[in-house]
Amino acid sequence: MSIVVRPERATGESEPSGEAAAPEPASLGTVLRRGLIGSLQAALVITVVLEASTLGLFYPRWLKDLLFDSGAFYVDTLVVWVLIGFLWAVLGRLWWSIGIVMALALTVGIGNLVKIQLREEPVYPSDLDFVREPGFLTSMVSPVFLVVALALVVGVVVAAVRIGRRMSLRYPRPGWRILPREQAMAVLGLRVAVGVVTALLLMQTTQFNQPHNLWRGLYEVRGDDHWRYWSQKTNYRSNGFMGGFLFNMPVSAMAKPSGYDQAAMTTIADRYSELADQLNADRKGSLDDVNVVMVLSESFSDPTELEGFELERDPIPRTRALMAETTSGHMLAQMYGGGTANMEFESLTGQSLGLFRPQMLSPYQMLVPDHADYPSAVGWFKSQGHEAIAIHPYRVGMYKREQVYERFGFQSFIHDTTIGETDTIDDNPYISDKSAFDEVLTQIGEHDKPLLVNLVTMQNHIPVDGNYKDPIKVSGAGGNGKRIGQYARGLEHTDEALAGFLDELKGSPEKTIVLFYGDHLPGIYSSKVKNDNAGLPLYRTPFFIWSNQAGDNAPRPVPTTSPAFFLPLLYDVADAPMPPYLTLLDQVHEHVSAIQQGRLLDADGETLKESELDPEASQLLADLRLVQFDFSIGGRFALDRMWPGSAS
């Protein structure tokens, strides 16, 4: 509430002739009542803006959920109202407070719309990390869009301030200096009280996932089984934007599994150490003197497998031929349009996001940096005599990779400013895959020791519009065909560069094994294409494991799998003995082909219910859950026996 100070007229001075008398200031009680009602009305409007950003208000099902079934809309409004109240207590200006909150809501809402369009997921609290990477954010949308959005946000703040001034003229408030001392002190006390109460309530929002949280209790009035964690877009639509956002506030990675203690982990270590010894007795190969190259190819997928359009030609014929001659199949991505770092995390650690809490949206941002070190293939291969090198031809800050790679134990990190070649193709702003592959060849040539190389490419990252002068022609996709054609041409460049890279390795005297996989589909497809391919097709990408030792390669089609199971598959190709941890992963993989948040798949790609697993599979999955807890946030009681050297 702002206080207007009006100069007093001289005694006996009358109003100028012909001018209407200025309205008298309202009483303090009237001002406070108007502020209370006005702030609540503003909170309702702001909440509508946030709900609309998920598009949930335009679907009867979600509208019914928000307004009637869950009542989440009203709790969302209460959260926004509390925020407005806190700002009023701090600033003393109601309209400024409303303007700031509305501008914030518009900013978040616009970001939410864009992210849902590109990645089929809403904005999360962890996305605040990307504020430190404005170059990446601005590359996702056109400059015109950004200018319009910024102008809209600034306009909202200016409009709120101007409205506040006009309201002050129409409905004058008593000046601070003319208030009786008792009333002035009452206003000050009210602001302090509102500030303290709202601050405490806002602090509760940061602890949303803690037991007995006030806000969570309000959202769970209808029960605690209505959180749609398997689809965050649906979660936000059903439980309100603020409800979904708060649901994803920081939380411990896993709930402590039943029976977890040092004795239980000793039993598990005994079990899989014995099993590893039995299985390894028949293995004749080794990775001790072999370079291991793990290639995460940004947005690499097979668009010919999708319904709804046709490409003029196959963009990945060489990759397809390699897959027919090697251990290969489809990887199950955790999300459509994004999640690169999550797939990288799974492949390097063998830990599945599907076994973490659903709020653990990005272990690279929310888990790994909190530890001095973290168990991974990096430490394991280093303990076996390899040197570990990470290559990512982009900024080091994305997904906190610089900190994460240090925790994993990489000895060097080659990025956009240190890579040997920075060639791009046509108008594509990202460093080409050929340049990235050439860097791997350079590192292999310069090192005497065998290497573990983890390469994360960037060439096919969105946006793809206008990247190439000769896109592949597309039919049947309507206006979206140009974008698909550009993307497919990028895949063709990757296909050519990959074949050249493997040809170079074939002629190398050094033994090398390559794991190649796409991390997710690009967020470029229209709603029609997505509807035509609902389900697994939007989450499957190609992978293969290839060795330059010809005798290691043999056709072996693998069911749709999670990247958490890549390491044991790689050891199978090399016929190399596995440590107990990889043995456990291998055994789980025989029963559960892939693990996604809220979903298990069998070898036929059919959904499995954990409650319906046979006793052996159930025991294996329970053991894996205990081991993942132990390695991630537990006491690491079994680490030295099951995966020695993996954390350094």
Lowest mean pLDDT among 10-24, 275-289, 602-616: 10-24
Bridge-based pairing state of the strands 387-391 and 599-601: unpaired
pLDDT band at 13 (very low <50, low <70, confident <90, very high): very low
| H helical segments located in 296-424 | 317-323, 340-349, 363-366, 377-383, 401-408
Contact yes or no for 622/350 (Cβ under 8 A):
no
pLDDT above 70 covers what percent of the chain?
90
What span, in angstroms and rounded, lies between the C-alpha atoms of 365 and 344?
13
Question: Nearest 5°: phi and psi at 169?
Answer: -75, -40
pLDDT tens digit string along 284-305? Answer: 999 999 999 999 999 999 999 9
Cis peptide before 315 (omega within 30 of 0): no
Judged against a pLDDT cut of 70, whether residue 164 lies above it is answered with no
What span, in angstroms and rounded, lies between the C-alpha atoms of 233 and 196?
34
pTM: 0.83
- Reading the block at residue 132, the tokens are 């430190």
Mean pLDDT of 70-95: 91
Domain 284-578 has CATH 3.40.720.10: yes
CA distances to 146, 309, 315 from 300, in Å:
28, 18, 11
User: What's the pLDDT at 48?
Assistant: 92
Contact yes or no for 48/42 (Cβ under 8 A):
no
CA distances to 92, 148, 329, 439, 628 from 98, in Å:
11, 21, 53, 53, 46
User: Of 532, 642, 538, 548, nearest to 586 (Cα)?
Assistant: 642
> Which residues 6+ apart lie within 8 Å of 246 measured at CB?
79, 205, 208, 215, 216, 219
- Reading the block at residue 532, the tokens are 């035509």
Mean pLDDT of 562-574: 98
pLDDT band at 127 (very low <50, low <70, confident <90, very high): confident
SS (H, E, C) 234-258: HHHHHHCHHHHHHHCCCCCCCCCCC
Contact yes or no for 176/31 (Cβ under 8 A):
no
Q: Number of H helices and number of E strands within the chain? A: 23, 13
User: What's the pLDDT at 26?
Assistant: 57
Average pLDDT in the chain = 89
Where along the chain do the CATH 3.40.720.10 domains lie? 284-578
User: What's the pLDDT at 409?
Assistant: 96
CA distances to 224, 415, 467, 583, 620 from 261, in Å:
28, 41, 54, 21, 17
Judged against a pLDDT cut of 90, whether residue 61 lies above it is answered with no
User: What's the pLDDT at 16?
Assistant: 47
Judged against a pLDDT cut of 60, whether residue 19 lies above it is answered with no
- Reading the block at residue 492, the tokens are 């063709």
User: What's the pLDDT at 121?
Assistant: 82
What span, in angstroms and rounded, lies between the C-alpha atoms of 122 and 233?
6
What span, in angstroms and rounded, lies between the C-alpha atoms of 46 and 220?
22
pLDDT band at 191 (very low <50, low <70, confident <90, very high): confident
- Please provide the size of the chain in residues: 648
User: What's the pLDDT at 465?
Assistant: 92
Lowest mean pLDDT among 356-360, 375-379, 513-517: 356-360
User: Of 195, 197, 196, 237, nearest to 59 (Cα)?
Assistant: 237
What span, in angstroms and rounded, lies between the C-alpha atoms of 183 and 25?
15
Contact yes or no for 353/342 (Cβ under 8 A):
yes
pLDDT tens digit string along 487-511? Answer: 999 999 999 999 999 999 999 999 9
Q: Kindly provide the residue ranges of all beta strands, DSSP E only, lying in 164-297, ordered along the sequence.
A: 291-297
pLDDT band at 76 (very low <50, low <70, confident <90, very high): very high
Look at residue 332 and give its three-state secondary structure. strand
What span, in angstroms and rounded, lies between the C-alpha atoms of 12 and 637?
89
User: Of 82, 84, 83, 62, nearest to 73 (Cα)?
Assistant: 62
